[in-house]
Amino acid sequence: MNKTELIEHMAADADISKAAAARALSSFIENIGKSLTKGNSVTLVGFGTFSQKKRAARAGRNPSTGATIKIAASKVVRFSAGKTLKDRVNKR
């Protein structure tokens, strides 16, 4: 499912216009990003948790030349699925 399809499903399920669903989804994404930028995590009970983790600097290899390169430290976004979501995906 892509963003457009998600907006269509949200609009149908919530009985709202596609424009309103698009604004709601954009706001949701924007606010998760803002929270992660501040170093906070976002927990949606039953769905999962978005969090930020620091990745240390490390050495790597350029695959085309084999030369050793330095990979800078960075922050990465992590998502940990909640129990309800895991159970739904693994439903047999």
Taking only the tens place, the pLDDT of each residue in 72-92 is 999 999 999 999 999 999 986
How many Cα atoms occupy the beta-carbon half-sphere of 73 within 13 Å? 4
pLDDT of residue 86: 94
Helix (H, G, I), strand (E, B) or coil at 36: helix
When pLDDT is cut at 50, 70 and 90, the band that residue 22 belongs to is very high
Taking only the tens place, the pLDDT of each residue in 35-81 is 999 999 999 999 999 999 999 999 999 999 999 999 999 999 999 99
When pLDDT is cut at 50, 70 and 90, the band that residue 9 belongs to is very high
pLDDT of residue 92: 66
Q: What pTM does this model have?
A: 0.78
